[in-house]
């Protein structure tokens, strides 16, 4: 279970990118985050795994408060948060197996990784997962010899090798063609079910969000303005997420509403 309470992220003295955001993601669910560019979707995911430092608020993952962790406790917590990136983030000169084993770096001594002396059980697990996603036959192939879809499958397996408590996916299909995009989304959906794993996906393709996720969260200007099942995302909700009032108008309306409550 992921619980986020009153999360704020501000860069410098500017307006917050995330504004007192609340969100819960229970186990075994696939949740998509939609919204226009600049809504705060990627920042939210990066705050969860502490690639970006939150300004304030609480992020609880299975009762562990992530925002207060430092050094070794933070490293231990991060290894249980799998991350799939839009740009794949593979090491091109390494083989598929070596890239996949990068998911175990938080668990094995540095010398093992440096010498490519991976534990036998990790190699066996990697082959099982690669077979599951259809890339086992590429185990000894360099990452830069793969197609986009194959590279993203390597990224998925690398994240799963962390034995994560939650899987975060930041625009996992943005660099892929439409057919491959659907295949990756279907794969994430099935893996979440098979592994009983909560998955939080930042995605621009609303059609894929409605087809492959159980719940959709719509963000605008750092706030959640829609949270529901795909069937509830009608045109009115879409307009609110993508073509609602300007940020200044929204802030004014929010202050006005707050003033009325206060009086």
User: Which CATH number characterizes residue 98's domain?
Assistant: 3.40.50.300
Instruction: Indicate yes or no: pTM above 0.95.
Output: no
Given 148, 163, 178, which residue is the final one in a domain?
Answer: 163
Q: Are residues 68 and 7 in the same domain?
A: yes
Beta bridge partners of 25: 2
Q: CA-to-CA distance for 62 and 81, rounded, in angstroms?
A: 11
Q: Which domain holds residue 253?
A: 1-80+194-263
Q: How many residues does the chain have?
A: 263
Output DSSP code: residue 52. S
Is 179 within a domain?
no
* 140: helix, strand or coil: coil
Is 171 within a domain?
no
Number of domains in the chain: 2
For residues 219 and 33, is the Cβ–Cβ distance under 8 A?
yes
Q: Are residues 28 and 51 in the same domain?
A: yes
CA distances 111 to 107, 108, 114, 209, Å, are: 12, 8, 5, 42
Q: Are residues 73 and 124 in the same domain?
A: no
Q: Look at strands 2-9 and 18-25 and give their pairing.
A: antiparallel
Predicted local distance difference test score (pLDDT) of residue 244: 59
Is 186 within a domain?
no
Q: Are residues 56 and 110 in the same domain?
A: no
pLDDT in tens, the chain (263 residues): 899 999 999 998 889 999 999 999 988 889 999 999 999 999 999 999 999 999 999 999 998 999 999 999 999 999 999 999 999 999 999 999 999 999 999 888 888 888 889 999 999 999 999 999 999 999 999 999 999 999 999 999 999 999 999 999 999 999 899 999 999 999 999 999 999 999 999 999 999 999 999 999 999 999 999 999 999 999 999 999 998 544 444 444 344 333 433 33
Q: Are residues 91 and 157 in the same domain?
A: yes
Is 146 within a domain?
yes
Q: Are residues 37 and 16 in the same domain?
A: yes
């Amino acid at each position: 279970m992921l619980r986020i309470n009153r999360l704020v992220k501000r860069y410098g003295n500017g307006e917050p990118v995330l504004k007192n955001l609340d969100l819960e993601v229970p186990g075994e669910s696939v949740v998509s985050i939609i919204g226009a560019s600049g809504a705060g979707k990627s920042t939210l995911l990066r705050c969860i795994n502490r690639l970006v430092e939150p300004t304030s608020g609480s992020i609880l993952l299975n009762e562990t408060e992530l925002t207060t962790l430092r050094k070794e406790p933070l490293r231990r917590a991060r290894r249980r948060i799998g991350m799939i990136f839009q740009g794949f983030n593979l090491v091109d000169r390494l083989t598929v197996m070596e890239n996949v084993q990068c998911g175990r770096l938080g668990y094995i001594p540095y010398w093992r990784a440096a010498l490519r002396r991976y534990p036998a059980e990790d190699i066996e697990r990697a082959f099982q997962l690669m077979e599951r996603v259809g890339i086992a036959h590429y185990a000894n192939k360099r990452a830069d010899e793969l197609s986009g879809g194959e590279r993203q499958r390597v990224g998925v397996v690398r994240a799963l090798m962390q034995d994560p408590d939650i899987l975060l996916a930041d625009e996992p299909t943005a660099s892929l063609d439409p057919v491959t995009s659907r295949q990756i989304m279907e794969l994430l959906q099935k893996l979440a079910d098979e592994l009983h794993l909560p998955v939080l996906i930042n995605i621009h393709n609303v059609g894929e969000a409605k087809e492959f996720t159980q719940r959709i969260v719509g963000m605008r200007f750092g706030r959640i303005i829609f949270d529901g099942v795909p069937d509830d995302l009608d045109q009115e909700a879409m307009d609110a997420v993508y073509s609602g009032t300007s940020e200044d108008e929204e802030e004014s309306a929010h202050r006005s509403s707050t003033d009325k409550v206060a009086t």
